[in-house]
Structure 1
Amino acid sequence: MKTILIFAIILVFRNNVHSAKILGVFHATARSHYILGSSLMRALAEKGHDVTVISPFGEKNPPKNGSYRDIVLTGLVEEHDEKIKEINPFSKNKMGILKIVSMMGNMMIKMTESALNHTNVEKLIHSGEKFDVVVVEEFLNPAHKAFATHFGAHLVSLSTMGANSWSNSFVGNPTPLSYVPNLLLGYTNNMTFLQRVLNTMFYVFHEGLNYFYIYPAHHKLIKKYFPNGPDLHDVLYNASIVLLNSHTSTNQPVPYVPKMIDIGGFHVAKPKKLPNELKTFLDNAKNGVIYFSLGSNIKSSLMPVEVRQMLLTTFAKLKEEVLWKWEEDDLPGKPPNVHIKKWVPQQDILAHPNVKLFITHAGLLSTIETIYHGMPVLAIPIGGDQNLNAKQIVNKGFGRAISFQDLTEEALTENINELLTNPSYRQNAKTRSQIFHDRPVTPMETAVYWIEYVIRNGGAPHLRVGALDLPWYRYFLLDVIAFITILSIIVLYIFCQTIKVLVRCCFRKKYQKVKTS
């Protein structure tokens, strides 16, 4: 018995990591991005690690176990909210995709610098502290990867989406343009010829924009804000692992190198008890509830008045109650069956048995939470990756989609009725939910395990693929193609010259025979 106990203790210590110092850098002012970052860092703190988090948001209820420190980027959320009022997301679709990408690049350069030149971050940079691991959100902010080099830490990238053009090249992950579309284009993996042409052209444009504009700008930021700042290209490809907020139940299957780990849905928690008012409302909804939300970043109060009125007219005809996440105190023209809340615990609402349908913008977090709870969906994508998510929802048969531009009373009514009366959508949602839950361990346990794996294995250099050490012309076999092409031309030339010589010889002999005769 004593031997068994000793062996068990050895196993426990062997599989656990000492209390590591871990820094999380989550610069985005979108709360949905922060939810992902803070969920991971809280789990690491509760595991006993010493956690520090840089973000525009502070934790009101930090974890009770472990050590958790906030470095808040004060003022950034307020600046973001003011800019959102100036750039109405409902008119963003009128812009061309190239202009959107260029605008995003400029915006993220400014956002990256806003974090680096913040007083609270400058104090940390010059504090002389050391960290074992730096977790950086991969979202158009390559200069932030220098935090790992500066603090002598291993780098872990957290992609709030699946594998994409913002993360693939940094770990040498293959991106076959024949079936891996850029997420901003909203294509599925079964692209038409024209879509493949546009996907290829967009890839070339995006890479050119990165190498000739985005990367040089971030290189300057590193040199400006980090003492003895390294070259950007020395930190771009330095991630030990990339944690991906994706899973085969929610995303299209694509190739991964060993460094890329699926942890999609890691932020989803078990349902908690609802606030009394909400619980009473949902419990007493005899005909069920339709939940309507455009997420934490898009304010539905900014939508055009005529669209808002059309929604209210449509909802008024329904027998179901409608719960609308509305950011203002009042909603003019609200019918009796429509109830508004500035904030709601979305995951807990989707878990309630009286909720029959979720009308959503098809953001990735909302899509994941929908699949987790097996809920039918009506997607109204506004922009970004939402178009792709909406197509995935339709293709997998657990929902329908209407583009915001095509939103009419007739289309909305028809789609809602179809989703409520056709049981196949709910059944497909349950099937998709089963795939989501069919894992050996929870996605959060997977995330924590791999971060500790990096610590245990000295940065896990054995996961690095050879593609990262190849110049681009060797990666794409351009030298081999050039060699084969030149060799083929030489062989063809020699063949042609040989044929020409043989033909001349034949004609010469024939001519001599004719002449002698």
Structure 2
Amino acid sequence: MRQFTVLFVCFFASCYLGVESAKILGVFPFPSKSHYTMGNVLLKEMAKRGHEVTMIGYYEEKHLPQNVSYRNIKVELQMNEGDKKVNFFDQGMANAYLITFFLNYAGGKMTNQTFNIPAVRKLLESGEKFDAVIMDQFIDDSFAYFAHHFSANHILLSTTSANSWVNPLVGNPAPPSVNAEVLLEFSSYMTFWERLRNTMFYLFSELNRQLYFFPKQNEVIKKNFPNARPLYDYLYNVSLVLVNAHESFNDPLALVPVMKNVGGMHVSPSGKLPSDLQKFMDDAKEGVIYFSMGSNLKSKNLPVKIRESILRVFAKLKVKILWKWEDETLPGQPANVKLSKWFPQQEILAHPNLKLFITHGGLLSTIEAVHYGVPLIALPVYGDQKLNAATAQQKGYAINIPFAEFEEARFEMALKEMLRNPKYKQNAEQRSKLFHDRPMKPMDEAIYWVEYVIRHHGAQHLRVAALELSWYQYILLDVVGFFLAVVIAVLYILKMIFGKLCCRKSKTVKSKTH
């Protein structure tokens, strides 16, 4: 009887809202766990709610509930030249301009390989139709072709806050005076010199996209689909952007109606810790520090000098440390340090004995810390980590030590400051209250807007008029040109009038003289 009631309620709600089972294609082949995680949690939840999901991804979901329609199309990508691997701890990766060139290369290689995966080609040639294509918006703009090919609503998922990669695609106003570039280390509250640097990098990035990256992505489309239209015909046809942001952990930024902040939708309710970890944390009378550099960065690859500095500092502490360490042994491991290649991060963050989280500043980890009210020491290395760390420090729940500026004394001082000063914990708890104080859960909001776009056939009424303007019209160059032309014309006419008056006056004076 209870099951019948639940089914009846679901059926009634579905009829009332006009929501039927939709066919959703997810495109998340970038070989980064954080990018895949964002798409996978959304699409898996949509499958649980009765939608038919197909996921193109570098990773594969193997833990699916029964009776859901979720099809994996796994892609194998070769992103490195030969055996050469990118070392993200390399100091050179801290340079935003060098990262841009690297992303140009990676984006071209990833998109072209994905289009040529046999399973992907088979899907493209299958004649299937989808109601929506949800894709990762990150160095993969040629994937906009998927939405056109399948006659589907085009939905973007931005794994960071509103940024210059996505803002122009939906006409979102984003002046570089307050919108910090993702690859730089600024919050929205910038000094003059920071605004100068931010504007210079914004101009460089936009020129790079328009003059190099977009043409290269257009070549990828033309190479794989000779009859396709130019990239620009697909690029700006976006119905919705789901943004991994929220005012509790990001600076508030302007958003056009098609952009929705759903930051935190990946956070799942905390489960039980394994018995050994539960005992370890319960018995930690002085508290516990959790240390993890995320999924892409490996602690085992830390430079030896920095690793030894961290160990010396840890050995002086009375608190216990959980360190995500990807090797079998750690030379010089202190007695108060427990190692594991993997930890249940959210369950650890939820434990009352956790004092702080030492992190690389990845956005997913930052969001989880805010969710549970845990202060941070951030050691950002590359990408948006520097922006996330700067923003967290500006909001008072973190201490930011850029990895390129790491010093043992500075690290030790930051640990002591955070363990002794309660303001960081208080600020983290305040941010957690803001995070939870929402009209609906971020996952529910994300799914609502996806279904809304499908119900309203692309929700064209949410698109701003700026998308109908060319770039020079948008920044009013035509209006400025008109005013300049009028001013020049007026000045010219005045010059002619004064010239004639002066000439007439001169003739009058001469005639009187004679």
Which category of TM-score, normalised to the shorter sequence, fits these structures?
over 0.9
Q: What code does the residue aligned with 2:430 have?
A: T
Are residues 16 and 317 of structure 1, via their aligned partners in 2, closer, same or farther at CA, if it must alter by over 3 Å?
farther
CA offset at residue 207 of structure 1? Answer: 2.0
Instruction: Specify the alignment match of 2:55 in structure 1.
Output: 53
- For 2:11 and 2:35, locate their aligned partners in 1 and report how far apart those are by CA, in whole Å: 38
CA offset at residue 65 of structure 1? Answer: 4.6
- For 1:241 and 1:51, locate their aligned partners in 2 and report how far apart those are by CA, in whole Å: 18
- For 1:502 and 1:139, locate their aligned partners in 2 and report how far apart those are by CA, in whole Å: 65
- For 2:58 and 2:87, locate their aligned partners in 1 and report how far apart those are by CA, in whole Å: 22
Instruction: Specify the alignment match of 2:176 in structure 1.
Output: 177
CA offset at residue 171 of structure 1? Answer: 0.8
TM-score (norm 1): 0.93
- For 2:393 and 2:436, locate their aligned partners in 1 and report how far apart those are by CA, in whole Å: 20
Are residues 227 and 124 of structure 1, via their aligned partners in 2, closer, same or farther at CA, if it must alter by over 3 Å?
farther
Q: Is the 8 A contact 1:157 1:241 kept in 2?
A: yes
- Percent of residue pairs identical: 47
Question: Aligned runs of 1:275-290 on 2, under 5 Å?
Answer: 275-290=274-289
Q: Is the 8 A contact 2:93 2:99 kept in 1?
A: no
Instruction: Specify the alignment match of 1:361 in structure 2.
Output: 360
The farther-off stretch of 91-100 and 231-240 is 91-100
Equivalent residues, number: 507
Question: Aligned runs of 1:212-361 on 2, under 5 Å?
Answer: 212-226=211-225, 228-361=227-360
Q: What code does the residue aligned with 1:407 have?
A: F
Q: Is the 8 A contact 2:25 2:132 kept in 1?
A: yes
Q: What code does the residue aligned with 2:103 have?
A: M
Are residues 94 and 441 of structure 1, via their aligned partners in 2, closer, same or farther at CA, if it must alter by over 3 Å?
closer
Q: Is the 8 A contact 1:45 1:63 kept in 2?
A: no
Q: Is the 8 A contact 2:94 2:404 kept in 1?
A: no
Q: What code does the residue aligned with 1:164 have?
A: N
Q: Is the 8 A contact 2:79 2:106 kept in 1?
A: no
26, 29, 35: which one pairs with 1:27?
A: 29
- For 1:198 and 1:334, locate their aligned partners in 2 and report how far apart those are by CA, in whole Å: 41
Instruction: Specify the alignment match of 2:4 in structure 1.
Output: none
SS of structure 2 residue aligned to 1:184: coil
- For 1:33 and 1:212, locate their aligned partners in 2 and report how far apart those are by CA, in whole Å: 26
Are residues 456 and 378 of structure 1, via their aligned partners in 2, closer, same or farther at CA, if it must alter by over 3 Å?
same
Q: Is the 8 A contact 1:26 1:37 kept in 2?
A: yes
Are residues 300 and 81 of structure 1, via their aligned partners in 2, closer, same or farther at CA, if it must alter by over 3 Å?
farther
Question: Aligned runs of 1:102-181 on 2, under 5 Å?
Answer: 102-181=101-180
- For 2:421 and 2:68, locate their aligned partners in 1 and report how far apart those are by CA, in whole Å: 48
Question: Aligned runs of 1:196-207 on 2, under 5 Å?
Answer: 196-207=195-206
Are residues 9 and 293 of structure 1, via their aligned partners in 2, closer, same or farther at CA, if it must alter by over 3 Å?
closer
- For 1:370 and 1:159, locate their aligned partners in 2 and report how far apart those are by CA, in whole Å: 20
Q: Is the 8 A contact 1:93 1:382 kept in 2?
A: no
- For 1:272 and 1:7, locate their aligned partners in 2 and report how far apart those are by CA, in whole Å: 28
Specify every segment of 5 or more residues in structure 2 that has no aligned partner in the other structure, as ranges.
1-7
Are residues 498 and 452 of structure 1, via their aligned partners in 2, closer, same or farther at CA, if it must alter by over 3 Å?
same
Are residues 252 and 65 of structure 1, via their aligned partners in 2, closer, same or farther at CA, if it must alter by over 3 Å?
farther
CA offset at residue 16 of structure 1? Answer: 4.6
Is residue 460 from structure 1 mapped to residue 467 from structure 2 by the alignment?
no
- For 1:81 and 1:102, locate their aligned partners in 2 and report how far apart those are by CA, in whole Å: 15
Q: What code does the residue aligned with 1:377 have?
A: L
- For 2:82 and 2:316, locate their aligned partners in 1 and report how far apart those are by CA, in whole Å: 36
- For 2:34 and 2:346, locate their aligned partners in 1 and report how far apart those are by CA, in whole Å: 13
Are residues 8 and 436 of structure 1, via their aligned partners in 2, closer, same or farther at CA, if it must alter by over 3 Å?
closer
- For 2:82 and 2:244, locate their aligned partners in 1 and report how far apart those are by CA, in whole Å: 27
The farther-off stretch of 376-385 and 177-186 is 177-186
Is residue 190 from structure 1 mapped to residue 189 from structure 2 by the alignment?
yes
Alignment RMSD (CA, Å): 2.1
Cα displacement string for residues 304-353 of structure 1 (whole angstroms, at most 9, x for unaligned residues): 11110110010000000010001111111101001111011111110011
